[in-house]
Amino acid sequence: MPRFRCAVDDNDRATELPLFRVCGSVEENPHMRAFWASIISFHLAFLGWFALTPLAMPVATSMGICENQLYPPSEYPKEQAYLNYKNLHNGLTYCRYGVVRGPNGKAIDCEGPNTTDHVGSNLSIYRPEELASCVCTSGTECRRVISQGNLAAVASTILLRISMGTLLERYGPVNTQCSLLLFGAIWLAMSAAITAPWNYTLFRFFIGMVGAAFVTNQFWCSLMFAPNVIGTANATAAGWGNMGGGVSQIFMTAILFQPLVDSGMSDDTAWRVSMFVPASFYILCAVCLKYLCWDMPRGRHYDPVITGKKEQPSLWDYWDVPKDFRVVVMIFQYSACFGTELVMNNSLTTHFTSYFQLGMTEASLLASSFGLMNIFARSAGGILSDLMYRSFGFPGRIWAQFLSLFLEAIFLFGFGCVDNSNPWFVALAVLVGFSLFVQMAEGTSYGMVPFLKKEQLAVVSALVGAGGNLGAVIATALFYDLIEDDLLPYRVHSGYVMFWALLSPVYYWSDKGGMFCAKQSSEPTSPEPQLDAL
């Protein structure tokens, strides 16, 4: 066999992470091929997963669900969404002279002229011209449909992510990832035919399944890299893959949709044509993965026996693994960071468009800053976890996890306190800090998971990955759907994150120690995991 381009350990796993050492055949450099293939495929998966999110307003218009389409202001001037509306660009409100409110504070109608200067005025008490072209504020049918689509997109991935542990062990990373991408390409292309809320939700449900590519991303890197670099390798691969959620915000609007509109296409045609681009990327990526990459350092196909697993993969593993309460806590801690990222990828463009009343391109650019922080923040979390481990042992990894989640909760609460009386850049500044600690918490998670149940790490990987989507479902359904307010859901969500952060002390192993306890010196130290599957 040719000599590897990377330094390797006794199990042929790379002990270094030379990012730009990409030359050589697949026999010579399977490690870095797998590393970059896992990044690119997962990056594209994220890009397509959230492709419809920044296009929410033109898609809503095409479905005819904007509040001013369902309830024209000329016929329904007293709609709640209108009475509370204020144009932030010029400071004018829909109600010219103010709002009449009932005993419960709910808006009832617009006031009539209320000063001597205005008495006898022929001006209408309503100003429909100040409304946005698509009113989609909190509490409207438009917002409900978009939120249901967001929920479907993250919920569909849960079951598939859970099953990914078994699928990966049976078919290997390359075949599994290729299948996911080809499946996603079909539904992305079909989404160009969206005409109504039911098929919008349906298409987002099936497109969301490509989010399971995350498990392949982590599992594949774990087969290729040794324990001394796995925290950094996994965090970097996942982070740069997740960055597709931020790139999607820019790519689908500033690079595809807006230029097509400027060239003369209608909004309705432009967003539909745009959806074929990520679909074609999926197909091209799947073909390249199939013919250019291997599952393992010395084999085209994955063999679980080589990793030390003596039993064949079984669905019963999914029953056994959650019996360890520490695994359950990790699942929900991951729901508090990656789940939060999914919610932000789904909602930030709409938040900046409807609440801060920015243009679609401008709102997408601001929303993209959250995902683009993955270029370094998630890796920083993995590096921090590795550094803390070298300095303080396993308790250092626990403290890195706790501090990242704790600061995430603080900044999330702060973001929920920035109302639209502040300039958009105030919200952006808080958002950047918030994003930093969200991504770092995801990275510190990957520094801990390989130590939970090393003999069943493929299943642990799948369950923790599914936990991220579960967190998005919980937050969307309980906070962002039920609470008809533009800011309060963020503050409530921060409480969820803080709760799971404060459960970090439950992590304790006699041979590793815990958050406040050193390991017992009489216990032999467990060896590094032979397969770091997350």
Query: Which of these, 50, 58, 63, lies nearest to 271 by C-alpha position?
Result: 58
**Residues 309 and 46 sit within 8 Å (Cβ to Cβ):** no
Q: DSSP character for 113?
A: -
Q: What is the pLDDT of residues 346-361, one digit of tens each?
A: 999 999 998 999 988 8
- First vs last C-alpha separation in the chain: 29
392-412 pLDDT, tens digit per residue, is 888 999 999 999 999 999 999
CB 373 within 8 A of CB 249: no
pLDDT for res 153: 93
What pLDDT shows up at residue 26?
Answer: 87
**Which runs of consecutive H residues, i.e. helices, occur in 56-140?**
56-63, 67-70, 80-83
Q: What's the CA gap between 424 and 189, in Å, rounded?
A: 34
Cα separation, 108 vs 297, whole angstroms? 68
Residue 304, judged by CB atoms within 10 A of its CB (0-12, 13-18, 19+), counts as: middle
In one letter, which amino acid is 291?
Y
pLDDT, tens digit (0-9, with 9 covering 90-100), for 421-434:
999 999 999 999 99
410-448 CB burial, b ≥16 within 10 A, e <16:
bbbbbbbebeeeeebeebbebbebbbbbbbbbbbbbbbb
Report pLDDT digits (tens) over 293-324.
999 888 788 776 665 555 655 666 677 788 88
Distances (CA, A) of 363 to 19, 291, 369: 33, 39, 10
Q: What residues pair up with 296 in beta bridges, in sequence order? A: 299
| SS3 label, residue 356 | coil
List, as one string, the DSSP characters of 488-523: HHHHHHHHHHHHHHTTGGG-EETTTEESS-PPPTTS
Are 198 and 510 spatial neighbours (Cβ–Cβ below 8 Å)?
no
Query: Residue 408: which of 428, 387, 432, 389 has the closest Cα?
Result: 432
How confident is the model over 201-228, as pLDDT tens digits? 999 999 999 999 988 988 898 889 887 7
Residues 6+ apart with CB under 8 A from 486: 137, 138, 351, 354, 355, 420
Alpha carbon distance 30, 486 (integer Å): 48
Map tokens 């209108």 to a residue.
82
pLDDT of residue 117: 55
pLDDT digits (tens, 9 = 90+) for 158-176: 878 877 877 888 899 999 9
DSSP-derived 3-state class of residue 378: helix
Count Cα neighbours of 309 within 13 Å in the Cβ-side half-sphere: 23
- What pLDDT, on the 0 to 100 scale, is given for residue 415? 97
pLDDT above 90 covers a percentage of the chain that reads 59
Among candidate residues 341, 312, 286, the one with its CA nearest the CA of residue 458: 312
271 closest CA partner among 55, 66, 64: 55
3-state DSSP assignment of residue 77: coil
Residue 45 DSSP SS3: helix
CA–CA dist 323, 256 (Å, integer): 48
H helical segments located in 76-140: 80-83
Q: Lowest-pLDDT range, 34-38, 332-336, 529-533?
A: 529-533
Query: What is the chain's percent helix, strand, coil content, to nearest 5?
Result: 65, 5, 30
Strands 107-110 and 508-509: unpaired
Is 8 in a helix, a strand, or coil?
Answer: strand
User: Which residue do the tokens 């500033």 mark?
Assistant: 254
* 115-130 confidence digits (pLDDT tens): 555 555 678 899 999 9
Q: Report pLDDT for 387.
A: 87
User: pLDDT per residue over 68-97, tens digit each?
Assistant: 999 999 999 999 999 989 999 899 999 998
Mean of all residue pLDDT scores within the chain: 88
Q: Which of 179-183, 276-280, 378-382, 523-527 has the lowest mean pLDDT?
A: 523-527
pTM of the model: 0.85
Identify the pLDDT of residue 529: 45
The pLDDT of 54-63, averaged and rounded, is 95
Q: Where do we find the tokens 């029953």?
A: 319
